[in-house]
Amino acid sequence: MRDARDRFLRNKAAIACMAVLFLIVVFVLVGPQFSQWSNEEIDWDALGDIQTMGAPSLESGHYFGTDELGRDLFARTIQATGTSLLVGLIGSAMALILGTAWGVIAGYVGGRTDNIMMRLVDILLAIPTTLVIILILIIAGRSFVALFVALGAVSWLTMARIVRAQTLALKNREFIEAARAGGVSETMIVFRHILPNLFGVVIVYASLLIPEMILSESFISFLGLGISEPYTSLGALIAQGAGTMAYGTLWQLLFPLFFYVAIILTMFFIGDGLRDALDPKDR
């Protein structure tokens, strides 16, 4: 891990992206202290002529302008950024836990158990993921819990296949055979030898899964099936901004889009840096 840390710190792009992501998190945590408006409060004066009264202004306190309903876009962007980050983190955590457990059991037990478990994964992978997410949201309703369940239900499948392949490569290695010869139980072998050796692969994939979760949530929100009001996400704000572009209110699209692109790019570069740092071939 010390060598991996040193390799990661030498990756200037990944370190720069870590700094940018840290600033975004600070913006989400500290930003509300600098806002004169709440995310639900309506400025009725901004509804008169949105192209002039609703434009970004320091005097009015609408640093990012207002949306089509006169709500402060600065406050709503803060909330939307926090929501998107939360969706990415919780969705990835669900995929990490379920996919790792499924893949380790299938790969380590092997035989008929492995065959049945992985055929089920293949069947689920054959179903369009967007369709599954939409069906779950329609049945369970538009809520945070339903969204996390929907994203977690389709995101663990690839993780399970990756973990299973790595487990198959590890379970017959010499140090595993030595542990068995020493009387170590199968459960302890999994927790003390298999899982620690999967750490690098799992962490790298999880870091790359976070932006995928945010992308999926944004697409669902763009279709109008994401998080319901008064809560919002970057995908929902981008969809609203795209719908009002014809009225010349570009700030409604550009500010959420800036944070959206920044999060996606930083997470991909961080994941790429972790992959290079934890790659056993580079040791």
| Domains and their CATH numbers in the chain | 2-6+86-282 (1.10.3720.10)
Distance, CA of 97 to CA of 129 (rounded, Å):
19
Q: Sign of torsion, CA 133 134 140 144? A: positive
DSSP 172: T
What are the structure tokens assigned to 21, written together? 């992501």
- The pLDDT assigned to 16 comes to 92
- The pLDDT assigned to 232 comes to 82
- Tell me, what amino acid is at 231? Y
Distances in Å between the Cα of 256 and the Cα atoms of 20, 60, 64, 98 are: 16, 20, 9, 32
pLDDT mean across residues, the chain: 82
Angle at 151 between CA 252 and CA 244, to 5 degrees: 15
- The pLDDT assigned to 53 comes to 58
Decide if pLDDT at 24 tops 90.
Answer: yes
Decide if pLDDT at 281 tops 60.
Answer: no
Alpha-helical runs (H) found in 34-143: 73-109, 111-126, 129-140
Distances in Å between the Cα of 221 and the Cα atoms of 40, 128, 137, 261 are: 19, 18, 11, 16
Task: Express each pLDDT in 202-214 by its tens digit.
Answer: 887 887 788 888 8
Distance, CA of 181 to CA of 269 (rounded, Å):
43
Contact predicate 171/245, CB 8 Å? no
Task: Express each pLDDT in 155-177 by its tens digit.
Answer: 888 889 989 988 988 888 888 88
Task: Express each pLDDT in 27-69 by its tens digit.
Answer: 999 988 888 888 787 777 766 555 555 777 777 778 888 887 8
- The pLDDT assigned to 217 comes to 79
What is the pTM (predicted TM-score) of this model? 0.79
**Mean local confidence (pLDDT), 108-118:** 89
Distance, CA of 263 to CA of 283 (rounded, Å):
30
